[in-house]
Amino acid sequence: MSLSMRRTLIAGNWKMNGSLAANASLLAGILSDRSTSSAQLAVCVPALYLAQAQSVLSGSHVLWGAQDVSAHEKGAFTGEVSAQMLVEFGCSCVIIGHSERRSYHAESDELVAQKAQRALASRLIPIVCVGETLEEREQDATNAVVSRQLAPVLDAVGTQLGSIVIAYEPVWAIGTGKTATPDMAQQVHARIRAMLAERDAESAQQVRILYGGSMKPDNARELLAMPDIDGGLIGGASLNALDFLAIANSA
């Protein structure tokens, strides 16, 4: 299977930003692009704005999704949002296990795996985030950390491996302006793909592995040129339509 089978995915993670007015202008800016980028675009918006995303983006080339999902199907889980609710608002994808949720909400590798499974059960694409802290990188533990984070996810998704997306996001590069060099990122992406191949060689070639961590218009091209970097999960730069589009157009 050739590399070209993996369509580049550029997904925006708006985090807890936006307002009805700001979103309207950001989405209009994204939709106004007339370039012919072959990349697939997605925006992951705060859950309350999914209805707005659905109404503005329905029928367009831009997909939308959420930033988290409950591990449970339904019931007494105050404050949580279920996978079926995301489906009802037209979501295609959902970010799972972002480092901010792992650190501020104590999400474990096992919970992340359950959420990925829950998303797949509702036919949502889970964008599963993994990545090491600066301290872990300095201890040469990057591969060990990423393997530990991914193992329960791979157990949980089983034969649906080909339907997930993975985002490698070194924690020290998120929102800091520090980017992994293309070679550093490629090494980890290749390691991740090798891990996937141990489970299922064919699916491993289909899975898109995104890079995330201060991806910007001026560094996107060289990152996206690496053989195992199949797109980007974009935080800060996804809040500006021109920057987001410039990244997509450098794919």
Binding site for ligand PEP (CB under 6 A): 13, 169, 174-175, 212-215, 233-237
Shortest Cβ distance from residue 55 to ligand PEP (Å)?
Answer: 25
What CA–CA distance (Å, rounded) separates 116 from 160?
Answer: 11
Q: Is 135 a catalytic residue?
A: no
C-beta contacts of 203-207 below 8 A and 24+ residues apart = 203/161, 203/162, 204/161, 205/1, 205/5, 205/6, 206/1, 206/5, 206/6, 206/162, 207/6, 207/161, 207/162, 207/164, 207/165, 207/166
Of the residues 100, 107, 132, 169, only one is catalytic, namely: 169
Q: Is 98 a catalytic residue?
A: yes
Torsion sign (Cα): 44, 50, 52, 58: positive
Shortest Cβ distance from residue 131 to ligand PEP (Å)?
Answer: 9
Of the residues 98, 100, 107, 189, only one is catalytic, namely: 98
What CA–CA distance (Å, rounded) separates 169 from 205?
Answer: 20
Shortest Cβ distance from residue 27 to ligand PEP (Å)?
Answer: 19
* Active site (catalytic) residues: 98, 169
